[in-house]
Structure 1
C-alpha cells in the first residue's frame, strides 16, 4: 500500500511539471507503478477469499486490515468496523492466556497453526483454526504479523454429533430390557437435543402408550403424564405423535406459533396445558425396525437462544434409528424368553396327549393340562357330533349348569360367523365384551365372574370337530403371541382328538376301499369286454375280406386301449402321490400353448359330445412348470366339462394377475351340489353317482395334487343345474 501512496503522490503534480521532472524521478514512478500492478492480484485475493484474513500491528496487536470474510465470520457488516480494534476483543475471555502462548510460538517459529475460541459481535463464541505468520527484518525485529482464520463450527458440530451418536449407540445397546432402553433414550435426548422428550410406543391392540418422559425440570414430568391421562394418545388423534405413527415420516415444527399449537390441541383445556409447557419448537421422528413403525420420539425446546434446525432433525433421526435397533433387540429377546416358557408348556401338553389313546382320556388331558398351560382357571371341551356340541369334560364350572347346558346345538352360535364359518378363535377381554358379541353365552357366563373368555374351535384340515370354552378370573387383554400360543394349544388338542377317532375313520376307509374296488373292477372290465368283442369281429371281417370293417374295428379297439391306459395311468399316479413320488420336470411353459395341446388331445371327445370350445387366451402367460403334468390337468378339466355338459359350450380362459397365471374352465352342465363341493377333490370322490357317470373319481384328485406340487391352487364354484367353474392359479416365478 505504501507503493500505492507513493505512486499517488508522484502523480498529483501538473502535467507540465511531470515533464520537467528529472529522469531519476520518472524511473522511480514507473517502478512503483509496476509494483502496484504486481500486487493487484494479491489485493483481489485478500478481498475475495473465502477464508478470514487479518493482519495486526506487531507492536500494539491492533487490527490493521481484515477481509470481508473475516468480518462476516465475526458478525460485522464491513471490515472497517474492525480496523483499530485490539485482537483481544475478538477472543473468548477464557482464551486470553492460551492466545498469548500460541502467539509466542508463532513469533518463535515464524509460522504456527492452532485452535481458538473467538467471539462474535453479538457475544456468542465459536471455534476457529488460526494459521499465523510472523515476518522479521534482517535485525530480527517483527515487521509483519498476519493470520488466516477458518470457522470450525460445522466441523465441531459434526464431531459432537458423531461422538453423541457413538455414545448413544453404546448406552442403548448395553441393555436388553425394553423399559431400560426407552428410559435411556429419553435421558440421552435431554439436554443434548431438547429440553423435554417423550417416547411413545404402539401397542399390539393398535393403541398408543407413553412409555418414557424426560424434562429439564423434573417437576414437569408428572404434568406430561397427567396430560396424557386426560387426553389419551391415539393414531387418529390430532398432534405430531399421531401423525408420525400414521405416516412413518418425521415432523419438524421450527416455530410453534399459537395457530400451530391450536392445531395440535384437542380443545381449549388441552391447548392451555400445552401452552403451560412453553415449547417453541418440536421435532417428532418415528422409531422403526424391520419395516414397521414401533413408536415415536418427540423432542421439544423451550424459550431461549437455542433453536432446532435441519441438522437437529437429522441427528434425532439417527438417534431414533439406533434406539429402534436396540428396542427391537430388546423386544426380540423378551419374545424369545416368553417363547421358551410357552414352548416348555406346549411340550408338556404334547407329551400328555401322546400318552392318551381314548377320546375320553384326551378330553381329560385337554382340560386339566391344557388349562394349566394357558394359565386359565375354567374350561370345557365339547365334541361336535351330528351338528350338536356334546360336553366331554369340564373344570371350574358348576356341574348342574354343565348338565343342563348340553347337548348344545351348533346353531346357537349362528350369529358368530368368525367362529362357525371362518373357524377362527374368539378372544374377549371381559364378560361384558363376550356377551356383547356372543349373547348365546349368557347362561354360562352369568355365573363365572367378569374375567376374560375365549371360544376356541377345534379344527382339523377340513372340518370342525369340537369347541373349547376357556375362562380367566381377571379382565385382561390378549397379546398376539399369547393368542398364537393358545391357538397352538388348540391345534394340539384338535390333532389328539382326531387321532382318537382314527379307528372310526379307518373303518370308513375300508368301506370306501371296497366300494372303489367294485367301481374299478367295473371300469376296467368294460373296456376289456369291448376289446374281446372287437377282436372277434376283426377276425370275422378279415376272414371275409372286409378290410374297411376291420379298420373300423381296430380304431374302436385303439380307443378302448387308450381308455385302459388312462385308467391304469390314473391308478399309477394315485400310487405315486400316496408314496410321495410324484415327480415333476419343470421348464419354462406357455400356459396358452398347454391349453391348445390339451384341447387337441380331447378334440375327439368334444366332437363326440357335441360341445363347442370357446377360447380366450392371453399371450405370454409363462411360468416354470411341468408342461406334461399341466397338460394332464387341462385334459382332466376339459374331459369333465364335456362329460357333465354334453352338447353345451365349454369356455376356456387364460389370463394373468400380479405374480400368478390363471386358467379357468367353465361348463354349462349339471353342476355340483353344495354337499359334494367340500369333498370334490378327494381321492375316489365324485360330484354325482357313479351309476350315471363312469370313472374312478381320481381325475380332480390327481389334478389338485399336481397343481399344488407346482405351488398353485385349484378351486371350483358351482350350483346344481348351473354348470361349474374350475379355476387354476399358478405362480409366475422364476426357477429356484
Structure 2
C-alpha cells in the first residue's frame, strides 16, 4: 500500500487510525511468532512514516488556507463598498469595516442588532419597505435610503442591494447586502439639472434687469440662502445689482440695506478682490471675527450678523476674457457648508450668468446705438455737409465712400475725384503701409471709436498738390445692414501746431537765455537758438559805443555749411551798403527775398560773389535788437531753399529779437557791473594798502608834535588830538572797506576757536565804560552765570560788539542806557545790544544791513559799512543778525553764535586724519592761510598750492593726499580745468574734492564733476563737518 493509496484523512482521523494500528500491533505481537513480528514492525514503521508525511502536508495546506482566508478577509473588510449579511428579520449577522462607516459605530456593537435601529436613517420606512420586497420577491432587490450623519446631520444617499442566501433545500436563510454611497452621483445629477435649467432661464430674455433677477432666482435656494451680484460699471466702479434671500423675512428687512455700499478708506470687500484678481474665494466657515472683517462699519456688521452667513463663496463673472463682476453665494439657515465641489458648481453657474449678462449688456448697447443712429441719421446729412472738418467714410476695402465739403477744402480734391479711390490717396507714401495696417486692426478690434495717434504716432495728411500737413483725427466703426463702415473725422491743425511751436520756442528762449549772464556766452546762445529752430544761417551784429557795427557771432544749422557762415562773416559792415544798416536805421524788421540779389553787391571780388551764389538761399529776415529807444544791434536770419520765410516768420523773429535784446542788455549790464565792481575793488585795494603808509606817518608826526614841538603846541593839545582822531577815523574806514570787500569775495579771514563768550563780553563792557561815561550814558551788563563756550574768532566778535555799541552810543541821548547781554539758546548763544535811543523807522529797518546805507534822518557821520560788516562776520560764523526797534523807545540788535562742540566728537575721524594730507588749492594767500590754520587746528596735516597747475604738479610728484580743498577762480589753471584733469586721470579720480567758492549757481555743475561743495564765505564749522563727512 503506497502513500497515494491512503485515504485523505483529517488530523483527528489520523490520530485515531494510529491508535488503532498500535492496539492491533500489540495484539498481533502477543499471538504471532518472531518472524511475523518483525514483518509487522517493518510495515508499521513504513506506515508511520507515510502518515507523518501526510500530516506535514496537511499542516502546510492549513497554513496556506489561513493565509488566503486572511487575505480574503482584508479584501472583504476594505472593499470600496459596504458588505453585510442580514437575516430575514433584518438583523445584522456580519459586516465589513466599510459598512461600519455608514453606521458610525464599531462592528462588535452592530452584529446582532436590527439594521433599522442602528442605521442613521432619515426615514426607517424606506428600509422596512426594502425588507418586505426581499421577503416577497425572493430575488435581488435594489432600493435607495437616505442617511443623516455627523453633528450637522449631513444627508447622504445610499443605494442598498440585497441578494437571498439559500440552504441546500432552497429555503432563504439570509440576505447578502451591498451598501453604495451615491451622494456624489446625486450631486452631479443635481448640478447638471441646475445648470441646464439656468441655461434655459437665462437665455429666455435679453433684458439686463431681467437677466440679473433670473440669475439670483436660480441660485436661491438651489445653491444658497443668500445671493448677491456685483457688476463693474462703465465708469469702473463696482455696483451691487441684486440681493436675494431664501427667507422672505430677511428679504424684506435686509435686502435694501445690503444693496448700498459705503466703504471706508483701506477697506476692500471680497467681491472687489475677486473682481481685481479673477480668482474665487471660499470661506467654508464664516466665524464672528471674519464677519466683522467683511463689514465696512458697525451698521453693516449688524446687518451681516442678522443675515447669519455661515459659509461663503465669491466667484468672478467672466465673459469674453473680461471680468464683469462677482457672484456671491452664502448659506445661512440651511447650515450648508460649502466645499471645493460646491465651488466648482458655483463657477459653472457664474460662467453661464456672466455670458447672459454680457449678452444683455451688448443687447442694451446695441439698442441704444441703434436709437442714436436713427437720431443721428436725421441730422448727419446736414451736419456732415456743412462741417469745417473733413469727414471721410471708407468700406471694408478702405475705399472712400463719403467725402464732405470740409474734406474737399482740407485736401484740395473734388468729391468726384476721390469717391471709390483708396484712402491711401490722402496719406503720404512713406506712411501708407503702416496706416493701412492700423485701420485694419481697428476694424477687427473691440473698440468702436478712438482718437488716432493716441499711441504717440503723428497723423499726417497729403493734399492734392503733394503738400503734407499735421492733423488731429478720430475713427469710429458702425455695422449697417451687415456692412462695416469706418468713418474718420479729421482736422487740419497746421495753424494750431504753428502757434504751439511759437509759444514753445519763445518760452524756451526765456529759459535758455536766462540760464547765464555771461555776455560772450549770451551771444553764442542767441545765434545757437535761431539756427536750431528757425534759420539755416544766423549772423549777429552789435553796435559798439563808438557807433561801429561789429559782427560778433555767425552760426549755421548744418555743420557742413559752416564755410558759408564764415563767408557771411567776412562781408563788410558798411551801413550804407549793408542790409544791416537798413534794419538799424529803420529799427524795424525786414523780409528780403531773394537774398542773393542783396548779398551780391556786398561781394568784395568775383570769386567772393561766386561763393555767395553757391548756397541756394531762400529768403532773409533782419530784425533789430531794441531795448526801449536804443538799438543794440541786429540779427540776420537766412533760409536755404526750398524753405522761404513768410510774414508770420517775420513776427516770430521780431519777438525773438525783442526778447534776446533784453537778455543781451542784461548780460552787458552785468558785464559792466562786474567791471565796475572789479574797478572798485582795485581802487579799494589801492586805498587800503597805499594810504596806510602816509596815515602812519601822520600819526607818528602828531605824537612828535605833542611831545617835542614848540611850547604853544604842547600846551594846547586840541590841534594834535583833532589830527589824531581824523587819522584814526580814516584808518577805521580803510579797515571797514577792506573787510566789506573780503566779505563780498568770501575771503574774510577768521580764526575760530572755542572761547568763553561770557568772559569776552564782560571784558568788552569794562573797556567801553569810559566811552559810555564820556557820552553821559549808563552801560549795563546782562549775563547768566554760565554762558558756555562759543566757536568764534575772538577779534571778530569784539569787532561786532564795537560796531553795535558804537551805533548805540551814537544814537542815544545823554542820560540814556545801553545794555549788553547774552543767553544760551539751544545749540547757540544769543547776544544783544539794546539802547534807549531814538529808534528806527520801519522803512529804514529793511536796509539797515545794506552796504553804504545811512538813515535819512540820522544826521551822523559814517560810511554806512558798520552794520554790513556785522552781518558778514556773524553769517561767516554760521549765525544770523536782526533788529527790533520802536521809534522813541529804542532799538535792540540781536545776533547768534554757535556753541562749541564737545571734544569727544573728534575720535570718530582720527583714523581718517592719520591716513594722509589735505591739499588746499587757493590763490588768495590770506584765504589759503586761513584754510590751513582751520584744518590744522582741527587736527589735519595740510599742504597748499596757489593754482590748479601747481596742484597737478604736486599730485604727479608726491604721494596722493586723502582730500583736496579747491577754489574755482584762480590764475594759470582754474578749479574747473583742474577738476577736468582730475576726472580724466584714473589715479586721481578716487581722491575726494571739496570745492570752496563764492560763485553763484554752481552746485549742479560741481556735483556733475563728482565733488562736494562749501560756499563762501567759508564757515569753519561747516568746512570741518563736510571734511569729516567726505572722508568717512
Give the alignment's TM-score, normalised by structure 1. 0.45
Name which one, 1 or 2, has greater alpha-carbon Rg: 2
Give the alignment's TM-score, normalised by structure 2. 0.33
